[in-house]
Structure 1
Amino acid sequence: MLLRGSDVWNITKIIALLPDLVKEIMAIKPSETGAPDSYVWYPAASGTYSARSGYAAALESNPNKPVLPIATASLNWNKMIWNVKCPPKQKLLIWKILHDAIPTGDNLQRRGVPHIANCPHCGEYESIDHLFLHCPFATRIWDLAPIKTRFDSASCTGFVTTLEVSSLWTCLPPTGVTRDIFFWITWTIWMARNQRIFESRSSTLMDVISIALSNAQEWTRAQGDLSSTQVTPTLITQSPVISIPPDAIVCNTDVAWNPITKAAGIGWIFTAQDSQLQQGSESHTWIQSAFQAEALVVRVALSHAIQLGYNKIWLRSDSLGLIKAIVSTSKPKNLYGILSDVETLSASFISLLFQEP
């Protein structure tokens, strides 16, 4: 058989990856009690699909995924957007604007959506910079903004620059708005645009400014009312009292895991009334993480307890994450087989309590 150059390269690449693939395969710990197969969303560590993980996977697999402009990519997002004192919906709008993700005329045309791409106010080609900065309707609104230094939006190079400049603005009294007026006016311009398109309602310049200022004043006052409310924190100094059967067997588990060799030693001990009953230990190879080892020792300890005839167990593990995973309805994908076995083995006990010591 004659191999092409690309075939040889692919085979070489596969051979180079074999050690890692072998490690991943050997680290899979299947169920020992015949747990049924289950659908798993692999891009998420939990194995459960979410809109966020789906979006990230789609973006990662898109060869033509958008690249942010340099000015936007270097933006301090926390300072300029997420930590700004304004409603979350306004922060989300600014975030979408910076990602070129709002349905302006030019964006809709680029996406193949049949839509009139002209500005509803002046008839010019509608882009983000035009709608919020360069449209005559927008420039006159910014002229009316009650800020100390006049802002000429028509001469501003772009939305990112305007956002950065707006952090230095000072609002004039008696508006009652001390800062972040840029977010309020931007939001109101967007609302006025949508009302004109979808409801055939036109807003005057004074309407936009008045609505922006009144909404900002009302929201600011509401935040003051909330911050003035005194909340007395509750300090829990003791763990809640848990009712444990008097004849329950206490099972303590622990592990030691080597991240280099991927080997783990697991151990467990059964006690009753402070006296040792039984104990056990095992060594395992190809263990992905200490978390996987913690789950493995629970499965082995429960199997040992069943063999010894114990039917009331108080199992204590020093891994809070594992305890949460055991009692959760969804199982992490790399622990599905082990935790399914734990669930199956649990049915063999009259009472079984999991707790972090």
Structure 2
Amino acid sequence: MELPSESKEDYLYWKHHQSGRYSVKTGYYFLCKDQVIDNFSFSTKSENFTKIIWRLNILPKWKIVLWKLIHDGLAVKVNLTHRGIAINAMCDFCELDMEDSQHLFRFYSLAKAVWENSPMTFCHDMTGFPSLRSWIQHFILLFYSEDGKHSARITRLIATLWGLWLARNKRIFNRDEITIATTTELVNIALKEHEVFTGGTTDKSSTRAGIGWATSGHNQSHTFDGGGRYGTASSALHCETWACLEAIKWVIYQGKEEVLILSDSALLLENLRSERGHDISIVWMIEDIRTKAAHLRICIISKVKRDQVQQANDIAKKCRCTLSNLVL
């Protein structure tokens, strides 16, 4: 650090970052770079895995649970006993083994049955994984390399982990009777409430427009659900905003409570972040989006690349060209 050319008051600075300012991000970077946290090795493979997790287009609560899983931070009974809580650490389901993460999500009979009946058709009972983290990391990286960043198998893998966790909590806290069917239903509900992607197209020589929205079925057949409309729009932004509003209405009509909406319009997000919107032509649509979204427990609208919303754009184009509404 250079010395000032004249007398200045002393001040505190964070020497481990060029900005001199401490933040959670720079502090975490320092720890990851110079120390070992919980004996976790930050290899290149692990770093890639971590980046993939945070880039996935999944609900934030899924990311948090997944992050806790790979760091063995979920409140399973064995972890609670390690924290000094005096409880019986035996599994509530089988009452034969201790309830740790490996047992709960992989080894006990109900978990095995759920994985075996999953449409992913992968070898879930492969040996050689000393921890649940290594098992999850192996398959997420495998699916990512084979399917790409929009892998339906990654989404279903995480949804299944989420469903098993919900089933466990219903058993412990509500004393519900949990079966393979009820657990599978929890997984399917999670997938249905996952994401909707929207798109819109306009004819530059006229005001004719089409909008579309779709939700991936997250299965091997890549089926879709959604709809589309035709009408008029003054601009591409107008069209994208209309698509977002209609998608939220559709989500509510379907009885969903949580949704992640994907759009390739950065301008739409800028207007949503503004108190009343930057563009006067869509100000009332923006207000309607906020009003409708308030009826949902969780509604997140995220900017993605155009190829991620191609299905919705195809629906929009079809509606515009055929002058017809579409319900999938």
Q: Which has the larger radius of gyration?
A: 1
**Coarse TM-score class (shorter-chain normalised):** 0.3 to 0.5
